[in-house]
Each structure stands twice: as structure tokens, then as C-alpha cells.
Amino acid sequence: MSSSALYDVPGPKAAARHRRYGVLALVLIAALVGWVVYELFHTHQFTYQKWMPFEYRGIQRLLLDGLGNTLKAFGLTALFALPFGALLAAGRLSDHRAVRWVSTLVVEFFRAMPLLVMIFFIFVAMKVQPLWALVAGLTLYNGSVLAEVFRAGVLAVPGGQREAAFALGLRKTQVMAYVLVPQANRAMLPSIISQLVVALKDTSLGFLITYEEFLHAGKLIAANLDYDLPFIPVVLVIAPVYIGMCLALSWLARWVERRGRRSPRVRGGAPMAKAGVAMGLPPEAQQP
């Protein structure tokens, strides 16, 4: 029987026991799903009157506009949060103590501040338009979290890589750009995508400051007395869209990771070779 240091292959009895557990779990899940569907039918959530609003072009346009506004807020947040986080991470990795302290203070402050409080403060106290108040709050919070992701990714690169780069005579900016960051990208990518998924879902906080995003559009439909308050139908329409967008981001992360794994630029010695080109070293000195 083949075995692993971390996992022993189950024998016939253990395999049969695992199959029984799997069947039991499937039965319980099916029962739970059946109970939920029964309750939805029992409370008349699938009646024509509750689903009728989605037939109207005005309602469809309202949802599409809300979805577009959600994607717009998310796109702007990602556009600003990534460089903001990279800047703070560079500050936290700086050799200058004052820069490190200021960067650490900014990161810890915005990470600890509740996101909703920041959005409301920017919207009310600073009298900023709803879109930019939402984007600013999301950028400050997610950028601070991403700063720690970037910093941890760079520090996770083996110290020998840094020492070898300095031994070649590279400056710290060259070491970061050509050696550490390219190797850290693959380790950081899952955490970056996870934080972007959080930012995408947090755009729904915009409805609290009257930003007409996707959840705000659903709230307008769900609170409509003319359609018998179709709250559950709205949830059944909006939730899969959010889940689909998050799955699309996860798929994008896996696609980028696969491409990075195949790319010769991330293979051993490529960052050093690129650094050697930047330094003007002869070809034989650029070989790993």
C-alpha cells in the first residue's frame, strides 16, 4: 500500500466509511436545500406578482445601471488602492526611520478605522460626492491592508536573494524592482485577489450614502409596495451576480498565476539577469 509522509492512503474499510460519510453529507445538504425551497414556496416567494417587476425595461435598466455603478466604483478603488498600498509598503520597508514610522501610522490607523465611519466622514464632513466618498473610503482601507500584503510578500523572499543582489552592486531600488518584487508577486497574488473581492463586496456600502449602486437598485425594487415587497426575489437575483463577479476575480487570479508559472521571466535567474542588463554587466556575468 502506497503511503505518504503527510497522509496515509485509506484501506478498504476506511474508504467505505468515507463513502458513507460523503453520502450522508449529500443527503443532509439536499434536505437543507429542499427545506429552504419548501419554505420559499410556502411563503409565496415565487408568485408571479413578486417576480413581475423584472419583466419591465425600467426595472432592468435600473439594475443594469446599478451594476455599472458598482463596477465603476470597484474599478476606481482597485486603480487607486493598489498603488497606494505599494507606496505604503515601500514606506514600511524604507531604511529611513521617519518614513517607516509615518507609513506604519497611516497603515495601522486606516486598517483600524471602521470602513463605514470613514465613508460617512468623507461624505458628510468633507461634502464629497457619493461616488468619490465611497472610492476614497475603500481606497484608504483596502490600500492599507494591501500594504501589509505587499510588505509580507517581499519579506517572504529568501534573504539570500537580497544578499546576492547587493553583492552584485545593485542599489536598493534595483533590488526591489528586479529581484524581490518579481519573486514575491506569485506569493502575493492570492491575497491581493482576496482583498479585491472584499473591496468589490464593500461597494454595497454605497447605498448608505445614496450612491446608486447595485444593492441600492435592489433596495428600491424590494421596498416597492406595488409589487408586494419582493425582497426574496431581489436577493435571488442580486446574490448570484455578486457571487459571479467574485468567482470571475478568482478565475482571473488563477489564470494570471498559471501564466506566471509558464513565463520564463519568473524562472530561476531571470530577475538577476534583468538586473545585470540594467547594470550594464557583460553577458557572461548575467547568467545565473
Q: What is the pLDDT of residues 195-239, one digit of tens each?
A: 999 999 999 999 889 899 999 999 888 888 777 788 889 999 999
Distance of CA 231 to the CA centre of its chain: 28
Q: Is the pLDDT of residue 285 over 50?
A: no
* Matching CATH number, 48-286, of 3.90.320.10, 1.10.3720.10, 1.10.1520.10, 2.120.10.30: 1.10.3720.10
pLDDT digits (tens, 9 = 90+) for 160-177: 887 888 888 888 778 888
Neighbours of 260 (CB within 10 A): 14
Element spanning 196, H or E: helix 181-202
Residue by residue, what is the 3-state secondary structure of 2-56?
CECCCCECCCHHHHHHHHHHHHHHHHHHHHHHHHHHHHHHHCCCCCHHHHHHHHC
Task: Enter the pTM of the model.
Answer: 0.78
- Mean pLDDT (whole number) for 89-111: 92
CA 184 – CA 261 distance, rounded (Å): 13
Annotated domain spans of the chain: 9-43, 48-286
